[in-house]
Amino acid sequence: MSHYLCRFAALQACLTSSAGLAWGTRDFSKTSALHLKKVESTSNSRRANSFLARKAARKIVSDPIAKINAVDFGSTVQVTLVNAETGASVPITLQMAYSLQQHTRGLMYRTNPLTESEGMIFVYPQEGHRVFWMKNTEIPMEATWWNAKGELVEKPTAMEPLTLDYHWSTSHNVQFGIELAPGFLENKGLDAPGQTKIEDMKPVLDEIQLRGGLTASNQYF
């Protein structure tokens, strides 16, 4: 028997003895434990990385600034709302929703409430029956409807955040929809249909022309 075979035989004898079996079992258990620990560590690392990735993705999706900046609304317009009977008036700055993308986004994901000096005007290609809803919209507001002359055609409608109700105009001659802070028109004495109007429509009409005019917006609706 060669030297190497003798060593192999001795090792085999050792392993088949009770002491050898105990040693082999301990060694195997230790090796297995180390392997399992390594696998568990790798698994935990992967889970942690996956969790961090999902967390980062959720942060991006839930970030209102990222969401609102995803759509460019272009230049704002400054107008004055006036009650022709009482003389009550108030200046206001409006973002303009002209394209389909802008109409679809509207004020979704915004978290800071509208002030009494701002709102959003939705431009339609012709007068008609119009609708708003509050999907993904986190702030309360009111829907107001205006004809082609810039006249308020009906009382404002309150809209609650994150609801899926359709808020239709009762009128069928709506050229513009304006979303404002809740109770704004009533608080300013400007909620009377037929009396309240946009004092000067020129800033609105000029901006519409810069974007392609009412006729061009037909492609969106």
Domain range list for the chain: 3-62, 68-220
What's the pLDDT at 217?
A: 59
Cβ neighbours for 221, distance < 8 A, ≥ 6 positions apart: 100, 124, 125
Q: What are the residue ranges of helices labelled H in 63-142?
A: 64-69, 100-105
What's the pLDDT at 216?
A: 64
Q: How far is CA 107 from the centre of its chain?
A: 8
pLDDT in tens, the chain (221 residues): 333 333 333 444 433 333 333 334 344 344 444 444 444 554 454 444 444 444 443 333 445 554 545 799 999 999 999 999 999 999 999 999 999 999 999 999 999 999 999 999 999 999 999 999 999 999 999 999 999 999 999 999 999 999 999 999 999 999 999 999 999 999 999 999 999 999 999 999 999 999 999 876 555 55
193: exposed, middle or buried (Cβ count in 10 Å: 0-12, 13-18, 19+): middle
Percentages helix, strand, coil for the chain (3-state, rounded to 5) are: 40, 25, 35
Given a contact cutoff of 8 angstroms between Cβ atoms, the answer to whether 192 and 152 are in contact is yes
Question: Hey, how many other C-beta atoms are within 10 angstroms of the C-beta on 121?
Answer: 24
Residue that the structure tokens 């022709």 belong to: 84
Indicate the CATH number for domain 68-220: 2.60.120.1140
Q: What pTM value is reported for the model?
A: 0.69
What's the pLDDT at 88?
A: 97
Given a contact cutoff of 8 angstroms between Cβ atoms, the answer to whether 178 and 191 are in contact is no
For residue 220, what are the CA distances in angstroms to 97, 137, 168, 199, 211?
11, 22, 19, 28, 13
What's the pLDDT at 215?
A: 73
